[in-house]
Amino acid sequence: MKSYTEELWFQTAKRYEFIDITDRVEGALAASGVREGLVLVNAMHITASVFINDNESGLHADFLDWLEKMAPHEPVSAYRHNVGEDNADAHLKRQIFGREVVVAITEGRLHFGPWERIFYGEFDGRRRKRVLVKIIGE
């Protein structure tokens, strides 16, 4: 069995951002040489997510609006977590959008359904953060 590990680094300009990382995961897959197996992609920070959905700007705006309704940033003082920090909403947003995805690898390619792309979801950005890519197979 082969195994391959890579960390992808991000520093977003904004507090909230969605970044399509599919090409970078495909790059890791190519470097791994794995033809049949699984890839795990997970955010390494508790205020960021990795998720799979459509790469469509209206949908991404809808995601952000919906997340803001579920876990509004303001008022910051409404959260018990926000003692000396202001990112309680980011922890909650990450719980909603999840920590990781697993994608099957078939014949050397990510085995997606229609329109599926992998995204990094940043909810407390403007600092350096990482995503782990772990590939196993043969």
Give contact residues for Zn ion (rule: CB under 5 A).
85, 87
Question: Judged by CB, which is closer to Zn ion: 32, or 87?
Answer: 87
DSSP-assigned beta bridge partners for residue 7: 132
Beta carbons within 10 angstroms of residue 136's beta carbon: 16
Among all residues, whose Cβ is closest to Zn ion?
87
Q: How far is the CB of 98 from Zn ion (least distance, A)?
A: 18
Residue 119: count of CB within 10 angstroms of its CB? 23
Which helix (H) or strand (E) is 64 found in, with range? helix 57-70
In angstroms, how far is CA 84 from the centroid of its own chain? Answer: 26
Query: 20: alpha, beta or left, given left = phi > 0 and alpha = psi -120 to 50?
Result: beta
Q: Which is nearer to Zn ion, 74 or 107 (CB)?
A: 74
Tell me how far, at minimum, the Cβ of 1 lies from Zn ion, in Å: 37
Q: Smaller CB distance to Zn ion: residue 85 or 138?
A: 85
Report the nearest approach of Zn ion to the CB of residue 31 (Å). Answer: 33
Least Å distance, CB 97 to Zn ion, is 16
Residue placing its CB nearer to Zn ion in the complex, 49 or 87: 87
